[in-house]
Chain A
């Protein structure tokens, strides 16, 4: 059996974070989570094997999702990032500018997010 893909999910809303976590654990991913940008960045810096994919909220205290995407694309350019937004077009435009691989606007179905993850992971493999 293949090794499960390793996801890092960052969202300052703990409720959303736990829903995501439960869902993707059931989908047999290895899930790491962080409740703000700084915690997320620390995980990215310390996790030796790195992550297969990162999902991040955009509007968060301290380090925003936009900042995280810029940092990831500079330091870990092969790691795909999905940005999640519910706050109108500005952060969304900034996420695209920071080269997020996908920007998903709330509300969305978790199965839709799962499909995006699968697409990005298979693109990465190829």
Chain B
């Protein structure tokens, strides 16, 4: 059985529905989302729901191998194809015949390999290295990436034709911070899972206060981070300590925090006026009005970004929370150049 897809948020419900409807189509799928959101779990669920479930599920991490090695991993080689090829090796595409080939981190694939992959996707055929004969494969291609492939296409780093071919079905998994309602269920699941493994070190469920803190934490490493925290919790056994460590670790790792510290410290003038250290030549930049405006802008940008992030960029909700009109919010978003980091 594949690991279950846990959550009751709308986005997870939607993903479950998508899996149910597309698992038997055999059409190319691309799964996107930040690191640690569970892209492989979705791929395994797709596989398990399909009629291919008793066939192989072959995973290839496209970022883990250098180009030449990845090519021979994917397509295989004939004996004598290159120095050291003393025997024939079947590629993952051949091994995944009638099953699934899961191409993780597809955004890291080189342009030359992308064109070979495109060739397989177009005709279902490929030639192993050193072979003149094409091999037919009926592998269902499920790819995954945490990168913005659209941006890579614009920059010429990802083939547009391959992008559209992979994008036949797209499943986006939002980060955990945008679906906090899934956090208690995930915690229950991992407590249950690890309790049986670490049976001497049971941890109680978090009390409501601790749960609230766990739900408002930003989980930059998503479900994988939560899973690791739960594993650690089995050893530490104390939620208060775990939460304290979690917030401490996250604060020091967040660039936003560094900026805040800079603003609070002696360099506030430097930060707000972009001084390069030579105050005498920059006297023209001194203006209380200017500093106040700049400081207000920065604070407004931080706060609005925070609220938009928490509301999943629901501008109506955000304007209500901020107690400003919808129009003002839109004006601030464009004026302060606030951008969504995790656009749907």
Please tell me if A38 contacts chain B, counting CB pairs below 8 Å. yes
Q: How far is the CB of B272 from chain A (nearest CB, A)?
A: 41
A31-64 interface with B by 8 A CB criterion: 37-38, 41-42, 45, 61-64
Segment of B17-25, B68-76, B330-338 in the binding face: B17-25
Please tell me if A99 contacts chain B, counting CB pairs below 8 Å. no
A67 touching B168, Cβ below 8 Å: yes
Docked pose: A25 CA to B248 CA in angstroms: 60
Known contacts A64-B169, A90-B161; decide if A70 and B27 are in contact (CB<8 Å): yes
What 1/0 mask marks residues of chain A from 89 to 109 whose CB sits below 8 Å from any chain B CB? 011001000000000000000
Q: How far is the CB of B210 from chain A (nearest CB, A)?
A: 36
Q: Name the residue of chain A whose CB is nearest to the CB of B171.
A: A62
What 1/0 mask marks residues of chain A from 3 to 15 whose CB sits below 8 Å from any chain B CB? 0000000000000
Binding site for A on B (CB under 8 A): 14, 17-18, 21-22, 25, 27, 160-161, 163-165, 167-172, 344
Q: Which residues of chain B are near A71, meaning CB under 8 Å?
A: 25, 27
B170 touching A64, Cβ below 8 Å: yes
Docked pose: A42 CA to B21 CA in angstroms: 8
Given A38-B18, A42-B21, A90-B161, list of 6 further CB < 8 A pairs? A61-B170, A61-B344, A63-B21, A64-B169, A67-B169, A70-B25
Q: Which residues of chain B are near A42, meaning CB under 8 Å?
A: 21
Binding site for B on A (CB under 8 A): 37-38, 41-42, 45, 61-64, 66-67, 70-71, 74, 88, 90-91, 94
Q: How far is the CB of B156 from chain A (nearest CB, A)?
A: 15
Q: How far is the CB of B336 from chain A (nearest CB, A)?
A: 28
Q: Which residues of chain B are near A61, meaning CB under 8 Å?
A: 170, 172, 344
A63 touching B169, Cβ below 8 Å: yes
B165 touching A94, Cβ below 8 Å: yes
B168 touching A38, Cβ below 8 Å: no
A62 touching B25, Cβ below 8 Å: no
Q: Which residues of chain A are near B25, meaning CB under 8 Å?
A: 67, 70-71, 74
Docked pose: A76 CA to B161 CA in angstroms: 27
Docked pose: A62 CA to B21 CA in angstroms: 11
Q: Which residues of chain A are near B165, meaning CB under 8 Å?
A: 90, 94
Q: Name the residue of chain A whose CB is nearest to the CB of B160.
A: A90
Docked pose: A28 CA to B171 CA in angstroms: 37
Chain A contact residues: helix, strand, loop or mixed = helix
Q: Which residues of chain B are near A62, meaning CB under 8 Å?
A: 14, 18, 169-171
Q: How far is the CB of A28 from chain B (nearest CB, A)?
A: 32
B21 touching A67, Cβ below 8 Å: no
Q: Which residues of chain B are near A66, meaning CB under 8 Å?
A: 164, 168
Docked pose: A42 CA to B22 CA in angstroms: 11
The 6 closest A-B pairs by CB, nearest first: A90-B164, A67-B168, A90-B161, A67-B27, A67-B169, A91-B164
Docked pose: A37 CA to B169 CA in angstroms: 9
Q: Name the residue of chain A whose CB is nearest to the CB of B15.
A: A62
Q: Which residues of chain B are near A64, meaning CB under 8 Å?
A: 167-170
A38 touching B17, Cβ below 8 Å: yes
A-B contact pairs, 23 of them (CB 8 A): A38-B17, A38-B21, A42-B21, A61-B172, A61-B344, A62-B169, A62-B170, A62-B171, A63-B18, A63-B21, A63-B22, A63-B169, A64-B169, A67-B22, A67-B169, A70-B27, A70-B168, A71-B27, A74-B25, A88-B160, A90-B161, A90-B164, A94-B165
B21 touching A41, Cβ below 8 Å: yes
Q: Which residues of chain A are near B167, meaning CB under 8 Å?
A: 64
B27, B163, B164 interface centre (most CB from chain A within 10 Å): B164
Q: How far is the CB of A50 from chain B (nearest CB, A)?
A: 17
Q: How far is the CB of A112 from chain B (nearest CB, A)?
A: 25
Docked pose: A15 CA to B168 CA in angstroms: 24
